[in-house]
Structure 1
């Protein structure tokens, strides 16, 4: 009998495939990041057993013990706000850090990864709507931050990330996604870097994000159901 995890994963993958078909994209070009924050290692294991291999965490203190308890061989992304005093714990643990948004954190990551002989892949989080309650570099400050990060040898700048304003209609987020894509295109030309990653789109608006070029969609609720595990 098909498990609940398998049914949820199939539904989300079906949505991704349909969204790609609608805009003429290859579904293989869209990476599904299963947002496992506030869900336990057993929930991760259940989804991993269905074939999901990439998981996203938002809190270092929750992520590290969960990663140890989860099945081996999974790929982990960090998608939450990373405090500078906790940056050392992220070194060598995440394939991609989606949320770099200031040069001070970049310098800490550069130092820690350089000391460890590692290179950390990062995206820059952009606050395209200027929402005071959200993290992210402003569009006006993006180029300066990107140039600084691109010059740091222990960091690999891969692209941009956005958390758009919340709308009742998922199409309301589309302008934010389009803005991020335009910012990426301009920045890539300026830096002479490919910047292949556009991390945008969640459970409620992934279709609009894919239509605007998302390469990574971050889906939690539609894969795991309501969150029930308190962050540590």
Structure 2
């Protein structure tokens, strides 16, 4: 399990504080409006950023000063280098050993293509394939659905849901209905505050959700899937 014993981050317009919080295997979704602190919170777990003032994070009773062997991170954006997809995948391992990951994300026809020529969605699939290949016990993903078309959104979310059976997956998602469909738990952030923390998605407060997004929202069950609509 991933334990956040203490995390304090100071930004110019807000602070993020979290103590004595445990994430177990499952798909834990973070939602909230723009500027809520979702990305900063994920960076804090990793240990990235000058905003961190206090940080104590543990994985299976081991203090995580260096998270590189435990946590894989899929960022919103990542610098693109003048290399092809095959070379990019080799940055974290031999691409010959990544055939399963390449096939899963339908990248076989892209291996010789320069990273700089990929669309946003294509590059996101490369990032996911890289993390799939790394096979670390914790996955953090920031705006995981960004740049993906409908088909690819479900492909990536199906992968994360399957991975979450044995791994700890923490993902920020803007699409509220997508979040509610796949999440095991929901964490709702607003202005650096945790309005709901690792909450069962079936118990998420409509009032708090509406307050966070400053609009009246309703959670509906549609054929067994939870959807969020505007009232």
> Which interval holds the TM-score relative to the shorter structure?
0.3 to 0.5
* Larger strand share, 1 or 2: 2
Higher relative contact order (CA 8 A, sep 6+): 2
TM-score, length-scaled by structure 2: 0.33
- Of Structure 1 and Structure 2, which has the larger fraction of its residues in helix? 1
TM-score normalised according to structure 1 size: 0.33
